[in-house]
Chain A
């Protein structure tokens, strides 16, 4: 018998399904079942149903988007449908994550436009979709209900619930059967607490994806990495309130000093390294959805994940 480590895990990560195909009443070309790991990530049994997924992030008001991402994507950033379609067909992401950044304008009230945007994105891509709604508690309820309704039947992943504001998003998710991202600031206890709150108002465990918050590489990433490892560890030790799959989005990556100061010749390379070094590390720590904003990061992440999860003996 080969010397093998024994961990004596007693628990496992729960599963969450993203996207609905025609068979399940949706229009997506594929649905993903993530989670389910019975041991550490990247070990046999660590990612049993699906290899980690790469989500490409787009937004409906690019004015607050990192200029490096806008430059890399070009004119399509002015047309949300084209951007979403390109994410699927050219960048080859697994998921499209739409940020409704238009809601962040002062006194935003055009809820009807959000519905149209969500519908346009759902029509433009057949991939499962993540929708990031408002950042403003006062309009949360309307925004999330509009998103939830526009995506009815599609099994969206809605973001982002936080300790102070999770009711509206949970209500929308429950009403239209979507899953929810639950974010807490790099702290396993806060993550657990939020999951308990969500459970108490009726959000089932298999509808929650944990976002432990990801500091950019060199800017707090070490804390996020360990938070993810601890959450995974707790799940395997049997804590069902932490036994959900995780999402990682190191959103500050394209704004940090090293990337800004890299000079024109190296800037894209630096941006892509900054996103993917955090992303691949997060996969090793247990994240199952990695979000990026630079198109080349999708390519590098996908190649890494494909080669990481090759069946044994493959070349």
Chain B
């Protein structure tokens, strides 16, 4: 069971010496209680206190880092079963799988895709995280060659998928210092696998069926000195995945089975349809998901779903309210009013840019609600518009007094005119039609004078 901050504080040395990096023992205790501290940072604890606190204050699911550098992946350290209970913190890594039997050019092409392809949504660049190399050939040299090709083409987190220790050692010559995830230790080979993982400081995946065996194997590997583990429950059918992953997550976060307190691994390529396995991995607790090199459609959908599920349910992604410029707008440029929900902003911005008309965007503070939602809830109203015009000094930006509002805000148009004195033009509902609107409505309006 987790300890409360005060219980932990009682056990700490109460020297307030700051050596742990916290200003006082009490703030350190609060951090530990929240599962965010590291007990080993206090040098003044005796053995007994350390053991007592160690088990109950470390995060219920360990944070595991795969890879190094800019694209390194940190997974785990989750605390809830449902995102609405708090949030999910560390989005799962999605890694494209390649077999070492592929020709060099094909491997290089897939690696380059992962290195450069981006899906831009809501102002964020979403990308596939890395590459999983499978020792299909059974040959250590071939495996090492494939890993070498990946390394030559990019600096990406890797999963090395082989049970052959010779192949593993050969591959680690190329990437041993880059923290690849080794997949996988079994109950038969775990000592040797642990030795290799320790030697290179790599995280290690363990494979077993059933929570008992998985917990036992993870405990054995931890005893061998490998702390960074990932659990592969190796479901035999798609239907086995969710029960297995749910059991691991639930037993881990309640600290019922601390030996299951590690991120979960899912090889989606083992299932049909693979899309379904990817979806279930994303929504139900996978932290490392290996997929085949996906089509653009599946890639975009998977990255979008991952972004959705891993946003904080307490705060929509929002923009700072204010005036934003598209291009270099002059004093006669149109002003498009909208809300400060990021998705709305970026959607509208995209279409405004495509229209190639320099203009202003006035973002009013709806606390991150979309247009329709803000209208329906009353958050978007004429007073807010009036106050925003004043606050952001829109009157000094443009010489005209015309405000284009979203089509969905049309019920407000009369009232906005009344309280602001600005002429309101109701724009289209769909931002995609804003280019047309500029051509057909704004240009006429502009010709008519301010």
B50: Cβ under 8 A from any A Cβ: no
A304 contacts B304, CB within 8 Å?
Answer: no
A277 contacts B432, CB within 8 Å?
Answer: no
Min distance, Cβ A311 to any Cβ of chain B, angstroms: 8
A79: Cβ under 8 A from any B Cβ: no
Chain A hits for B432, CB < 8 A: 257, 260
Give Cα distance in the complex from A277 to B212, angstroms: 32
B301 contacts A2, CB within 8 Å?
Answer: no
B364: Cβ under 8 A from any A Cβ: no
A226 contacts B313, CB within 8 Å?
Answer: yes
A303 contacts B301, CB within 8 Å?
Answer: no
Interface digits, B283-314 against A, CB 8 Å rule (1 contact, 0 not)? 11000000000011110111011011101010
A300 contacts B246, CB within 8 Å?
Answer: no
A308 contacts B239, CB within 8 Å?
Answer: yes
Chain A hits for B279, CB < 8 A: 276-277, 280-281, 284, 304
Q: Nearest B residue to A265 by beta-carbon distance?
A: B296
A300 contacts B273, CB within 8 Å?
Answer: yes
Interface digits, A141-163 against B, CB 8 Å rule (1 contact, 0 not)? 00000000000000000000000
Min distance, Cβ A299 to any Cβ of chain B, angstroms: 9
A264: Cβ under 8 A from any B Cβ: no
B243: Cβ under 8 A from any A Cβ: yes
B84: Cβ under 8 A from any A Cβ: yes
Min distance, Cβ B366 to any Cβ of chain A, angstroms: 15
Contact of B300 among A7, A223, A258, A300 (CB under 8 A): A258
A285 contacts B247, CB within 8 Å?
Answer: no
B305 contacts A304, CB within 8 Å?
Answer: no
Contact of A222 among B257, B300, B309 (CB under 8 A): B309
From 15 to 44 in chain A, residues with beta carbon under 8 angstroms from any chain B beta carbon are 40, 42-44
A135: Cβ under 8 A from any B Cβ: no
Contact of B272 among A5, A44, A217, A307 (CB under 8 A): A307
B313 contacts A222, CB within 8 Å?
Answer: yes
Contact of B211 among A4, A280, A304, A309 (CB under 8 A): A4
B308 contacts A308, CB within 8 Å?
Answer: no
Chain B hits for A277, CB < 8 A: 275, 279, 301-302, 304-305
Contact of A307 among B82, B215, B238, B247 (CB under 8 A): B238
From 339 to 371 in chain B, residues with beta carbon under 8 angstroms from any chain A beta carbon are 343, 347, 350, 370
A285 contacts B283, CB within 8 Å?
Answer: yes
B121: Cβ under 8 A from any A Cβ: yes
Residue of A269, A273, A274, A285 contacting most chain B CB atoms (<10 Å): A273
| Known contacts A3-B251, A5-B251: A310-B239 contact under CB 8 Å | yes
A233: Cβ under 8 A from any B Cβ: yes
A281 contacts B305, CB within 8 Å?
Answer: yes
A266: Cβ under 8 A from any B Cβ: yes
Min distance, Cβ B276 to any Cβ of chain A, angstroms: 4
B246 contacts A40, CB within 8 Å?
Answer: yes
B260: Cβ under 8 A from any A Cβ: yes
Q: Nearest A residue to B350 by beta-carbon distance?
A: A257
B242: Cβ under 8 A from any A Cβ: yes
Min distance, Cβ A267 to any Cβ of chain B, angstroms: 9
A-B contact count (CB 8 A): 149
B311 contacts A222, CB within 8 Å?
Answer: yes
B305 contacts A217, CB within 8 Å?
Answer: yes
A5 contacts B250, CB within 8 Å?
Answer: yes
Min distance, Cβ A1 to any Cβ of chain B, angstroms: 8
A63: Cβ under 8 A from any B Cβ: no
B283 contacts A269, CB within 8 Å?
Answer: no
Q: Nearest B residue to A232 by beta-carbon distance?
A: B82
B210: Cβ under 8 A from any A Cβ: yes
B283 contacts A225, CB within 8 Å?
Answer: yes
Chain B hits for A106, CB < 8 A: none
B280 contacts A284, CB within 8 Å?
Answer: yes
From 287 to 315 in chain A, residues with beta carbon under 8 angstroms from any chain B beta carbon are 300, 303-304, 307-310, 312-315
Give Cα distance in the complex from A220 to B280, angstroms: 19
Give Cα distance in the complex from A308 to B276, angstroms: 9
A140: Cβ under 8 A from any B Cβ: no
Chain B hits for A174, CB < 8 A: none
A273 contacts B276, CB within 8 Å?
Answer: no
Give Cα distance in the complex from A312 to B238, angstroms: 10
A218 contacts B212, CB within 8 Å?
Answer: no
Chain B hits for A82, CB < 8 A: none
A42 contacts B272, CB within 8 Å?
Answer: no
Min distance, Cβ B414 to any Cβ of chain A, angstroms: 23
Give Cα distance in the complex from A221 to B83, angstroms: 13
B297 contacts A3, CB within 8 Å?
Answer: no
A310 contacts B238, CB within 8 Å?
Answer: yes
A108: Cβ under 8 A from any B Cβ: no
Give Cα distance in the complex from A2 to B276, angstroms: 27
Chain B hits for A269, CB < 8 A: 295-298
B445: Cβ under 8 A from any A Cβ: no
Chain B hits for A92, CB < 8 A: none
B347 contacts A4, CB within 8 Å?
Answer: no
Min distance, Cβ A294 to any Cβ of chain B, angstroms: 12
A5 contacts B247, CB within 8 Å?
Answer: yes
Chain B hits for A88, CB < 8 A: none
Min distance, Cβ A314 to any Cβ of chain B, angstroms: 6
User: Which 10 A-B residue pairings sit nearest by Cβ, starting from the closest?
Assistant: A304-B276, A5-B250, A269-B297, A273-B301, A222-B308, A3-B211, A42-B242, A280-B279, A218-B304, A226-B84
| Interface set of B (CB-CB < 8 Å, partner A) | 82-84, 121, 210-212, 215, 236-240, 242-243, 246-247, 250-251, 254, 256-257, 260, 271-273, 275-276, 279-280, 282-284, 295-298, 300-302, 304-305, 307-309, 311, 313, 343, 347, 350, 370, 376, 432
Q: A222-B83, A313-B236 are in contact. List 17 more A-B contacts (CB 8 A).
A: A42-B284, A44-B243, A220-B370, A233-B82, A269-B296, A270-B296, A273-B275, A277-B275, A280-B275, A280-B279, A284-B283, A303-B276, A304-B238, A304-B279, A307-B238, A312-B237, A312-B240
| 28 examples of A-B residue contacts, CB within 8 angstroms | A4-B247, A5-B250, A42-B243, A43-B243, A185-B376, A217-B301, A217-B305, A218-B307, A219-B343, A222-B308, A222-B309, A225-B283, A225-B308, A225-B309, A226-B84, A258-B300, A262-B296, A266-B296, A270-B301, A273-B300, A281-B279, A303-B272, A304-B276, A307-B276, A308-B239, A312-B239, A312-B240, A315-B236
